[in-house]
């Protein structure tokens, strides 16, 4: 070019064309590459910078210590302890089946687990993709040392410090407290768990679920720069420290709670010695003024410690067995409450003018009702003779209340209205998940469920009865007898022990229906108050205080006047007690025992509702248990006094 000699070089036209072709191809290719580079580096550059950062940064969460749960006096009920978990990092699992099997075998040998058990845990549907899966907690010092020293042989196994729940009182209040566990894929989508990392630990039931946002704290993050092999390299890690969860103070009184379990056990023992099964039960103690739950329990129970490690098949089987130890019977037990319900029927009679307090009534033991002349009787056809409202409650006359149900029926759902006013048939709004609403039966309710049942049976054909929850004859209609049974807390009526406690609280608190609650305070970890929990009353029922007095007199007489249904249990009790027995019938099964009591006190009034499934008569097993709890509450020497009254 610059060289003048070059110009004289002969070049055939054919060669010139071919060289130009090659040059043209080169030009086009350079243009393509440059445009591509421009697109990648200038147009999409920021996006690739982000990708490069995602590549190199790994966030390792540091679990925040979960807040403690304490009773109303600050005594610990649930605390946390540091433990070491052996986890498998899913993203680094061997890709081949044989490789995984080999890992499970070798790891199993170190931590003392069957390879199949590890595989089962790894295949569990509750594992969140990409999160570490906990295989074992508290694997033992020797195993941890082996794993740490041979990290190269277990590249996918991590030994991670974790904070696990400790339950000093083991099975105490297990269903109330609930459990914690790794967040599941479904829970990750819930608004209440917003911000929880995908290997986070959250409350799964009970107050742990309800107050999770306060208890769980904020996990810290260790941001590590890693190389392509996933190993930390280069820059020192940047650590954001975790924030510990808040402390939750419950309204529970730990001593009363413990005594409640003992008392319920004692009551169940009494029932069993009377020849009934008496294998399950529940209790609730409320402060009637404000709805604070002073004690709540349910048996059979379980030890929530099982949830600190992956469940073994035996533990799993026990938790889902027919005993239903996970069921909080105090809020989820769907029961007829028997004669304890008569308070509502009495209030209806007085308020709606069905029968005045002193209207004479003669109890003849049995009556016959309707065209079919269906017979309604007292327990053991006992004849109670001349009664008024107070003595009818005191002696728990069924005939007195049957006839009220009969009288009310033509006038519409009168008793149903008052039952609703007192909180039956709807959740009480307690701060626990999954509360049962209950059933208040009336003509329209029956028509509705029967229609649903007919549709369901039609849909499923022969399999219908097992799927549709077959109740009874799907063609029955509401008759007077239904209302009569309802009037004594039987029939289709269903309620929870908690609803019963709330209803009695409302009576003794002059109509204020409290919102029951377990949470009392949220405190930070040095004890400063973050939030007080004091929900307002649900509503205030308007009733005549004279009518209230009549019913209260009846309840007091039932407990502490001779002839009262639980007089043999509370007659010599050194404090004023208002109490009502209940004996709910379940067809051919053993009866269910109930007792509900109110003990006035200027500083610490209390309402207790207690039930024992298959516990026989209320006075025989339930009332003695309540006496033990009241003794504990007021510091009276405890004495197990078995009743003998066989009224319903």
Nearest to 631 by CA among 623, 641, 639, 642: 639
Query: Taking every pair of C-alpha atoms in the chain, what is the biggest distance, in angstroms?
Result: 143
Asked if 517 and 488 touch (Cβ cutoff 8 Å), the reply is: no
Length of the chain: 648
- Residue count, binding to another protein (CB under 8 A): 46
- 565-604: which residues touch another protein (CB under 8 A)? none
Please report how close the Cβ of residue 148 comes to another protein at its closest, in angstroms. 24
- Binding test (CB under 8 A) with another protein, winner from 96, 189, 229, 599: 229
Which C-beta is closer to another protein: that of 56 or that of 258?
56
Question: Could you tell me which stretch among 30-38, 338-346, 381-389, 455-463 binds another protein (CB under 8 A)?
Answer: 30-38
Which C-beta is closer to another protein: that of 114 or that of 235?
235
Q: Quote the DSSP letter at residue 584.
A: E
- Binding test (CB under 8 A) with another protein, winner from 82, 151, 233, 374: 233
Which C-beta is closer to another protein: that of 33 or that of 190?
33
Question: Could you tell me which stretch among 23-31, 181-189, 302-310, 553-561 binds another protein (CB under 8 A)?
Answer: 23-31
- Binding test (CB under 8 A) with another protein, winner from 124, 151, 153, 227: 227
Please report how close the Cβ of residue 195 comes to another protein at its closest, in angstroms. 28
Residues 6+ apart with CB under 8 A from 381: 365, 366
Asked if 595 and 625 touch (Cβ cutoff 8 Å), the reply is: yes
- 33-62: which residues touch another protein (CB under 8 A)? 33-34, 36-38, 40-42, 44-49, 51-53, 55-56
- Binding test (CB under 8 A) with another protein, winner from 129, 195, 234, 587: 234
Between 60 and 99, how does the x/- string for binding to another protein read (CB under 8 A)?
----------------------------------------
- Cα(563)–Cα(565) distance, integer angstroms: 6
Question: Could you tell me which stretch among 19-27, 257-265, 314-322, 347-355 binds another protein (CB under 8 A)?
Answer: 19-27
- Indicate whether 31 belongs to the interface with another protein (CB under 8 A): no
- Cα(450)–Cα(256) distance, integer angstroms: 43
| Beta strand segments in 370-518, E | 374-377, 385-387, 512-513
Please report how close the Cβ of residue 18 comes to another protein at its closest, in angstroms. 6
Residue 248: strand, helix, or coil: strand
Residue 73, classified by CB atoms within 10 Å of its CB into exposed (0-12), middle (13-18) or buried (19+), is exposed
Residues 6+ apart with CB under 8 A from 527: 247
Please report how close the Cβ of residue 245 comes to another protein at its closest, in angstroms. 35
Question: Could you tell me which stretch among 10-18, 202-210, 348-356, 447-455 binds another protein (CB under 8 A)?
Answer: 10-18
Asked if 335 and 328 touch (Cβ cutoff 8 Å), the reply is: no
- Cα(303)–Cα(218) distance, integer angstroms: 27
For residue 474, how many other CB atoms are within 10 A of its CB?
17
Q: Which helix (H) or strand (E) holds 402?
A: helix 398-408
Q: Which residues bind another protein (CB under 8 A)?
A: 1, 3, 5-6, 8-9, 11, 14-16, 18-19, 21-23, 25-26, 29-30, 32-34, 36-38, 40-42, 44-49, 51-53, 55-56, 225-229, 233-234
């Amino acid at each position: 070019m610059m060289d003048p000699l070059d110009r004289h070089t002969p070049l055939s036209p054919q060669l010139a064309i071919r060289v130009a072709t090659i040059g043209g191809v080169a030009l086009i290719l350079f243009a393509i590459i440059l445009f591509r580079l421009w697109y990648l580096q200038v147009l999409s550059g920021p996006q690739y910078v982000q990708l490069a950062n995602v590549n190199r940064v790994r966030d390792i969460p540091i679990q925040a210590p979960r807040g403690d749960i304490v009773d109303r006096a600050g005594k610990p009920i649930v605390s946390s302890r540091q433990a070491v978990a052996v986890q498998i990092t899913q993203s680094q699992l061997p890709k081949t089946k044989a490789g995984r099997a080999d890992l499970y075998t070798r790891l199993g040998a170190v931590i003392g687990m069957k390879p199949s058990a590890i595989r089962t845990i790894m295949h569990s549907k509750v594992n969140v993709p990409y999160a570490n899966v906990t295989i074992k907690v508290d694997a033992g010092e020797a195993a941890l040392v082996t794993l740490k020293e041979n990290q190269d042989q277990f590249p996918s196994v991590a030994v991670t410090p974790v904070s696990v729940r400790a339950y000093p009182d083991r099975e105490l209040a297990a269903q109330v407290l609930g459990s914690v566990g790794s967040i599941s894929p479904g829970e990750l989508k819930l608004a209440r768990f917003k911000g929880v990392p995908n290997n986070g630990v959250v409350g799964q039931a009970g107050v742990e679920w309800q107050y999770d946002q306060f208890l769980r704290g904020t996990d810290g993050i260790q941001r590590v720069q890693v190389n392509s092999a996933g190993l930390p390299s280069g820059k020192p890690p940047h650590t954001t420290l975790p924030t510990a969860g808040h402390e939750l103070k419950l309204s529970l009184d730990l001593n009363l709670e413990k005594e409640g379990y003992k008392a319920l056990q004692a009551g169940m023992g009494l029932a069993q010695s009377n020849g009934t099964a008496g294998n399950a039960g529940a209790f609730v103690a409320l402060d009637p003024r404000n709805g604070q739950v002073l004690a709540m329990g349910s048996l059979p129970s379980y030890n929530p410690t099982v949830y600190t490690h992956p469940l073994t098949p035996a533990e799993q089987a026990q938790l889902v067995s027919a005993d239903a130890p996970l069921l909080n019977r105090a809020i989820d037990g769907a029961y007829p409450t028997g004669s304890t319900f008569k308070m509502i029927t009495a209030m209806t009679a007085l308020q709606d003018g069905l029968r005045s307090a002193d209207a004479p009534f003669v109890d003849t033991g049995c009556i016959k009702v309707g065209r079919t002349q269906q017979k309604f009787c007292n327990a053991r056809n006992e004849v109670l003779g001349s009664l008024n409202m107070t003595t009818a409650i005191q002696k728990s006359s069924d005939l007195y209340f049957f006839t009220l149900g009969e009288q009310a029926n033509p006038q519409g759902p009168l008793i149903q209205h008052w039952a609703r006013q007192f909180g039956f048939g709807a959740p009480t709004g307690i701060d626990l998940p999954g509360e049962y609403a209950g059933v208040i039966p009336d003509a329209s309710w029956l028509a509705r469920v029967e229609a649903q049942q007919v549709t369901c049976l039609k849909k499923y054909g022969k399999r219908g009865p097992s799927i549709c929850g077959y109740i009874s004859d799907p063609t029955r209609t509401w008759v007077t007898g239904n209302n009569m049974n309802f009037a004594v807390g039987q029939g289709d009526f269903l309620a929870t022990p908690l609803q019963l406690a709330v209803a009695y609280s409302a009576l003794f608190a002059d109509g204020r229906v409290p919102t029951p609650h377990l949470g009392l305070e949220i405190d930070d970890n040095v004890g400063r108050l973050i939030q007080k929990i004091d929900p307002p009353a649900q509503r205030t029922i308007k009733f005549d205080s004279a009518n209230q007095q009549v019913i209260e007199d009846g309840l007091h007489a039932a407990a502490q006047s001779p002839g009262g249904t639980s007089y043999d249990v509370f007659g010599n009790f050194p404090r004023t007690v208002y109490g009502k027995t209940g004996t709910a019938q379940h067809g051919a099964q053993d009866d269910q025992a109930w007792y509900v009591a109110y003990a006035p006190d200027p500083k610490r009034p209390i309402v207790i509702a207690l039930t024992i499934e298959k516990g026989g008569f209320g006075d025989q097993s339930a009332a003695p248990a309540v006496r033990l709890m009241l003794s504990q509450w007021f510091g009276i020497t405890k004495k197990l006094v078995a009743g003998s009254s066989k009224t319903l």
